[in-house]
A and B are shown apart, each in its own frame.
Chain A
Amino acid sequence: MENNSPTAVSEKIPFWRDVRVLRVLFQVVFLLGVILLLAILYTNMLSGLRRLGLTLNLNFFQDEAGFGISEGISYDPSDTYLKAFWVGILNTLKVSIIGVVCATFIGLFFGIARLSSNWLIRTIAAAYVECFRNVPLLLQIVFWYTAVVAQLPNIRESLSLFGGAFINNRGVYLPSPEPTSSLTIWLWFLGAGLLLAVFLYVLRWRQLQRLDRPGFRAKWALPAFLIVALCGWFLTPGSPFTLDLPVLQGFNYQGGMSFSPEFSALLIGLSIYTSAFIAEVVRSGIQSVVKGQREAARAVGLKEGQTLRLVVLPQAVPIILPPLTSQYLNLAKNSSLAVAIGFPELLGIGRTMMLQTGQSIPVFAMIMVSYLVMSLTTSAAMNWYNRWITRIGR
């Protein structure tokens, strides 16, 4: 009897009051609800499309695009929509990667400057961060475009720097190095220099370990490499590179390399805006390192720069990295604001495609997937770096 009674009770419990059943049941009901909602949205979309006489397919990606794109890899209006889309992806990547590099350096500089003991530097850095962080990015990009870049002189009155570089309201034109046949000879010199540098680097590292002192490991390697490279440059018969100078021909400059005003304005806008956030990330990372660490470093006789490089930053970097990753992701996604100034990036080209084909849903899906892939890749790389650096640090 004693043993039986609990079973008897549990047998009596109807299933709608049995926690074990209910737990599963509610999850199933919830899941069904979600599926139902998605199904409703999907059929609603399909019925809407049917009403308009549209079908959902990706075949149009093989069709001829027919519209021109102002910059990016080689592309012709007779290429397919897929190629046009690819041009957009590459343009987005180009501005994002250069932007991330610029924003990181500017941000690092201002982040450290905010903690300077010098009042002027500290205040300027604070003003920089507050100004650029608190004005909408779209506004900033349009400002750089219409109020700065577009106000540069006309193409026929270009600003000329050293006779080889030109700046006007159609872009920045720079000489580009073109490799010549003697480049291979110089590359041999570079290879030899690199070997020597690696050897000296290891030597210096061992020495520092033996002395058990902090120091600059590349102290010997770097000058040695530069000397070999320089000697090689002069010893090579003929110059390894020639400069391709931009020349005004007809309507525009031809030759050399150029950055369009749209690209420049977008790059400046993105880099400066994001750098203000990165500066704050860097500052908070540095401040999170206990004050005692810094004082201890000073007490053992390290200089200010050494303290930062050897004691503070190694501890701050693992704290900085996760929010830094978010800033990188933001920068890449914010590049879609280029639509406002006509830089042909992913979203801009995608929108043109939607309008010319009417296939908004597949194109939108493709755009979203592209951004997702870019962001997830960046995240994965940064997480990997984070794990690596924490393992080294500990």
Chain B
Amino acid sequence: MRKFLFRVSALILAISLVTPLLARGEEGILDKVKNRGRLICGVNKELPGFGFLGQDGKWKGFDVDYGRAIAAAVLGDPDKVEFRPLKAADRFPALQTGEIDVLIRNTTWTLTRDTDLGTDFAPPTFYDGQGFMLRKDLGVTSLKELAGATIGVTAGSTTELNLADTTRSLGIEVEPIVFEETETLYQSYDQGRCDAVTSDKSQLVSRRQSLKNPDDHVILDVTISKEPLGPVTVHGDNRWNDVVSWVVYATFFAEEHGITQANVNTFETENPEIKRFLGTDDGAGMGKKLGLPKDWARQVIAAVGNYGELFERNLTPLGLPRGVNKPWTQGGLLYAIPFR
């Protein structure tokens, strides 16, 4: 009987010891990543250009490179990152539960997501808009002509909601078919299960390449929404959101000032802001304020290059024009906040 009582008290003790562990969260994600020595980044695995697993088993893409950039800034090594492929429908739970540190998976910033979903956004890395892809031989040129059509969308996306909004405002009815997997969506479209598919234009361009006959399909010249895509962090960890945001600004800043992967280590300048950026100034540097090494921005550029290089490497081969994704100095929307 004593033994039993002993066991019960041991159990209670164990529970009281485990409880603080369960209720942890005082430790920020930045420290967690540093202690782990590895960043865990949620990405898309089936979107060539943004995030996909290459034939050689290496992760490639625009979003994937941003994951590497964060690893370079925090840990000084772009390879210290583990990519977790996520479906659109699984991405927010994975972030909320702390399974991933950062989500970089062509995710649109919206008010609801910023508030109700428990997520915080870093500045958009790609300004996109929602479009439609359909077969050329249908001869459709405007959205109104799509009345009565079957249209495929991905589950749990903003595109699903935009489609409903748009058809309502046009006063037409369409039949939406919702797919959980991007792969199934485009496969079904290719087989003729739906007349059209709707998604971010960048995704349509990317996926058109893998259809049976890419030339038979056309992307309509209409954009029905604004889709600012960017990295996402969990709500409530501001320090970590700062780190992710400034890594993004660093890529913008480097392009504004002509700092590239090739010249970052030999960049000669007397400009005090660039010196602060590169960590070659005499002060404590911007890194300390972020909780990062002094040369964090230099590591980022050395690892993945500036924004222009990222774009050219990953997205230009798809045939995506830069559009508004240009520095503000060239009339685009990319605007780095001062490094001061």
Contacts and interface: CB of A to CB of B under 8 A. Distances in A.
The answer on A and B forming one complex is yes
Interface of A: 16-17, 22, 26, 29, 33, 36-37, 40, 43-44, 47-49, 51-54, 66-70, 77-78, 146, 150-151, 154-155, 169-170, 249-252, 254, 261-262, 339-342, 344, 348, 351-352, 354-360
A336 to B, nearest CB: 12
A358 B116 contact: yes
Contacts of A360: 93, 96
Interface in B3-28: 4-5, 8, 11-12, 15, 19, 22-23, 25
Interface in B179-218: 179-181, 184, 187-188, 191-193, 195
Nearest to B236: A51
Contacts of B15: 36-37, 40
Nearest to A261: B193
B163 interface: yes
Given A53-B235, A251-B150, A261-B193, A67 B177 contact: no
Tell me if A's interface is mostly helix, strand, loop or mixed.
Answer: helix
A264 B165 CA distance: 29
Contacts of B184: 146, 341-342
B11 A342 contact: no
B156 to A, nearest CB: 4
Nearest to B179: A342
B150 A169 contact: no
B327 interface: no
Nearest to A33: B11
- Chain B interface size, as a band, is 35 or more
Contacts, number: 137
A339 B150 contact: no
Nearest to A50: B236
23 contacts: A37-B15, A44-B23, A51-B25, A66-B165, A68-B163, A68-B164, A69-B178, A70-B177, A146-B187, A154-B192, A170-B192, A249-B148, A340-B181, A342-B179, A344-B178, A348-B180, A354-B93, A355-B88, A355-B89, A356-B112, A356-B156, A358-B118, A359-B116
B23 A78 contact: no
Interface in B130-165: 146-150, 155-156, 160-161, 163-165
A188 B325 CA distance: 73
Interface in B221-271: 234-236
Closest 7 CB pairs of A and B: A52-B118, A355-B156, A77-B164, A358-B117, A68-B176, A251-B149, A358-B116
Contacts of A249: 148
B118 A53 contact: yes
A155 B164 contact: no
B175 interface: yes
B93 A70 contact: no
Given A44-B23, A351-B89, A351-B156, 14 more contacts: A16-B5, A26-B4, A44-B19, A44-B22, A53-B115, A54-B118, A68-B174, A146-B184, A155-B192, A252-B148, A339-B180, A352-B89, A352-B156, A358-B117
Contact of A40 (B22, B113, B164, B178): B22
B170 interface: no
A203 to B, nearest CB: 54
B160 A48 contact: no
